[in-house]
Amino acid sequence: MAEHAELLKFLDNSPCLIVDASHASSWTLQTVLLEMGVPSDRVTILRKFEEAKTFIANKKPKLLIADHHLDKNVGLALVEQLEKILESHQRICMVVAHSPTEAAVAEAAEGHVDGYFVKPFSSEAFRSRLGGIVLRKLNPSPYSVKLEEGRKFLSAEQLPGAVKEFMAAKPLDPKPTLACFFAGHTYQKMGDINRALDEFKQGRGFQNIHYKCLVGEFELHIAQKRYKDAYELVELLKANYPLSPKRLGQMFMAAVFNMRFEDVATFFDLFQQLDQRSDELTKIASSALFAAGKHFIEKKEVKKAIEIFQKGFIVSSLDMHYLEKVVGELLKNKSSNEAAEFLMKAPQRAKGTLQFNVLSLRVDFTTQKREEAVERARKTLLENKLPPDIIEQMVKFMAESDKATLAEGVITRAAHYYPEIRAKLYKILEETKPKKSA
Amino acid sequence: MQKVKNLTTDLEIRPPERDQPIEVTEIGDLTLTFFASSVAKEGQLIGMTGELASSGQSPTKFDVTGRIVDAAKVDDKLHKVSVHLHQFDKQVWGKWFAAASEAQRRVDRIFDSIRGEE
């Protein structure tokens, strides 16, 4: 019962918000709160992300319980919103989810979530966890108080004041890893990289795999473009913690800059396991996989390159620009057959579009289908604008085939789109001699 | 749960939302809790037919007979019902309950290791 009184004291008549698309789950959470003595008019249940956003902005609930998956948005976005309105000691944010992935839990733990529950749960366990959080928020240790004060300075960008508080926190705990992390983070913001690094390392001295210090050090190296140093921490992070989407993105980058292209391919598997992928992470992952594919082409390991390109193409959601880049690389490597095969991976919706047809021409110009492709290109040019490189190849091939009149027709048509290349095209026509076999 | 029947009254227990199965919202060692729209009373026997699904496992068919140990009225159309399990496949339940408990422990481990002493 004491925990009930503590919860009411913490809430101080502020509203509680439950955001969950499942009626059953939200009723359970509501019942727990009511059983803990929260007046029913203080508990609001909402089903939709946008409604919840508006409620948070207007009512500033001190207790937020959100499902990790809401509409297409994540409940964490609501936690972030509340975090901007109320300080850490003023709010409690809990996340609930069915079968969360480890990456999802890691992402929540890295943020400002106070507790994470898997559905269905025991209401007793939930009550107990909530009670524990309330007690900590109401009766923080002197160490936590100092950290909180430092964080206030930090959010107000009063960095020297923040450092002072974090330093004062250190003697208050036998293993002040978090004070070290925040001091390091603050020094980094002040541009004092060496001191920042010292603080992170000091924190890891208390506990080698302390997550925040480890990540602090890793991110500092990334920010400083010291990818080799950053990569040395990757194994430690991978071995001990699930990777959040943000961390995975950084690891992709660090792997590319360290030429660890084999690892890029393995990170793809981790990417596939995520249930939420931001646009930014998707972009980083597909670029990293493209870079890895290019690397294996340069090493003449075309089969491996294609496997990786294929993964990148999946990551890019079958983006045609990605496919265009891959086909370009394969053609540069004179892997015409592989380029033709890869082109066939284009989604059905893309086939028949001008972009697909242009790619198809580029590929066919390098194969036995060249003659047929040139004729196809000529007909396409009557209606559509084709890129200059295609036109140049058409003119060259027509000249080689002793079809100067046809080539002149192409030049006249092309000059309609690109008057500046007319002279160049005539030069190609004049300088290319017909091949005997033509 | 696809079907929940009050064996004492021989009436079907209806879900709170039409066309939606009854969802188990809380679990205990040998108890489970759900919300229903129809009235049920403490001490009555119920029979449930449905599936148990936990993280990373395919759903398993699960039939159970149990006794209502708590039936609290939330409002006129909503009742919270807790059932103590009597006749059921102990192996299926045990495996599922262990998996559900382990899922929470795993989340706690990840969460606490990342948050540290915060």
Q: Model confidence at A436, in pLDDT bands (50, 70, 90)?
A: low
Length of chain B: 118
Q: What is the model's pTM?
A: 0.71
Please tell me which of the candidates A105, A123, A125 has its beta carbon nearest to residue B111: A105
One domain for residues A30 and A81:
yes
pLDDT score recorded for residue A28: 85
Q: Model confidence at A10, in pLDDT bands (50, 70, 90)?
A: very high
| Number of structural domains found in chain A | 3
- Residue B72 predicted with pLDDT over 90: no
One domain for residues A213 and A198:
yes
Residue A94 backbone phi and psi in degrees, to 5: -125, 145
One domain for residues A119 and A169:
no
When comparing pLDDT for A182 and A108, which is higher?
A: A182
With the C-alpha atoms ordered B40, B45, B47, B51, is the resulting torsion angle positive or negative?
positive
| Model pLDDT for residues A337-378, shown as the tens digit of each residue | 999 999 999 999 988 888 899 999 999 988 878 888 888 888
pLDDT score recorded for residue A72: 61
| Model pLDDT for residues A387-405, shown as the tens digit of each residue | 999 999 989 999 888 888 8
Q: Which of A241, A276, A304 is the last residue of a domain?
A: A241
One domain for residues A114 and A30:
yes
Give the CATH number, domain containing residue A28. 3.40.50.2300
pLDDT score recorded for residue A45: 93
For range A266-287, the mean pLDDT: 88
pLDDT score recorded for residue A208: 85
B98 lies within 8 A of chain A by CB: no
B100 lies within 8 A of chain A by CB: yes
| Model pLDDT for residues A186-211, shown as the tens digit of each residue | 999 999 999 999 999 999 998 888 88
pLDDT score recorded for residue A414: 87
B109: closest CA of chain A, how far (Å): 10
Give the CATH number, domain containing residue B7. 2.40.10
For range A31-35, the mean pLDDT: 89
Q: Which of A139, A160, A188 is the last residue of a domain?
A: A139
| Model pLDDT for residues A139-152, shown as the tens digit of each residue | 888 998 999 899 88
One domain for residues A124 and A231:
no
- Residue A316 predicted with pLDDT over 80: yes
- Rounded to the nearest angstrom, the gap between the alpha carbon of residue A46 and the centroid of all alpha carbons in its chain is 28
Chain B residue numbers with beta carbons less than 8 Å from the beta carbon of A212 are 114, 116
Q: Model confidence at B117, in pLDDT bands (50, 70, 90)?
A: low
For range A90-103, the mean pLDDT: 88
Numbered residues of chain A with Cβ closer than 8 Å to any chain B Cβ: 22-25, 27-28, 31, 98-100, 102, 105-106, 108-110, 115-125, 173, 175, 177-178, 207, 210-212, 240-242
B51: closest CA of chain A, how far (Å): 14
* A344 within domain boundaries: no
**Is the distance from CB of A114 to CB of A121 less than 8 angstroms?**
no
Instruction: State both tokens at A28.
Output: 């359970």
One domain for residues A165 and A134:
no
* A99 within domain boundaries: yes
Residue in chain A nearest B112 by alpha carbon: A109
How many whole angstroms separate alpha carbon A291 and alpha carbon A333? 15
When comparing pLDDT for A2 and A327, which is higher?
A: A327
Instruction: State both tokens at A79.
Output: 């936690």
Please count the CA atoms within 13 angstroms of the CA of A394 that sit on its side-chain side.
Answer: 28
B116: left (phi over 0), alpha (psi -120 to 50) or beta: left
* A249 within domain boundaries: no
One domain for residues A146 and A121:
no
Structural domain for B74, as ranges: 3-115
Compute CA distances A21 → A16, A101, A277, A321, A427, whole Å: 16, 19, 21, 37, 68
One domain for residues A86 and A182:
no
For range A80-105, the mean pLDDT: 88
Chain B residue numbers with beta carbons less than 8 Å from the beta carbon of A28 are 25-26, 33, 35, 80
8 Å CB contact of A24 and B54:
no
* A289 within domain boundaries: no
pLDDT score recorded for residue A438: 45
Percent of chain A with pLDDT over 70: 98
8 Å CB contact of A23 and B34:
no
8 Å CB contact of A178 and B24:
no
Chain A residue numbers with beta carbons less than 8 Å from the beta carbon of B26 are 28, 120-123
8 Å CB contact of B107 and A117:
yes
Q: Model confidence at B56, in pLDDT bands (50, 70, 90)?
A: low
For range B36-43, the mean pLDDT: 82
8 Å CB contact of B24 and A120:
yes
Angle between helices A245-257 and A227-240 (to 10 degrees): 140
pLDDT score recorded for residue A62: 96
pLDDT score recorded for residue A304: 94
Please tell me which of the candidates A28, A177, A241 has its beta carbon nearest to residue B113: A241
* A208 within domain boundaries: yes
- Residue A132 predicted with pLDDT over 70: yes
pLDDT score recorded for residue A1: 64
* ipTM score over 0.90, yes or no: no
8 Å CB contact of A241 and B110:
yes
Mean pLDDT score across all residues of chain A:
89
8 Å CB contact of B104 and A27:
no
Compute CA distances A159 → A153, A168, A169, A199, B28, whole Å: 6, 14, 15, 15, 49
Structural domain for A155, as ranges: 141-241
For range A54-64, the mean pLDDT: 95
| Number of structural domains found in chain B | 1
Q: Which of A82, A113, A139 is the last residue of a domain?
A: A139
| Chain B interface disruption, residue of A18, A26, A27, A88, most B CBs within 10 A | A27
Bridge partners, residue B4, by sequence: B48
* A326 within domain boundaries: no
One domain for residues A72 and A9:
yes
One domain for residues A73 and A166:
no
8 Å CB contact of B113 and A105:
no
- Residue B118 predicted with pLDDT over 60: no
A272: enclosing H helix or E strand: helix A261-273
Percent of chain A with pLDDT over 90: 46
Please give the angle made by the CA atoms of B106, B108 and B114, to the nearest 5 degrees: 105
pLDDT score recorded for residue A307: 94
* A176 within domain boundaries: yes
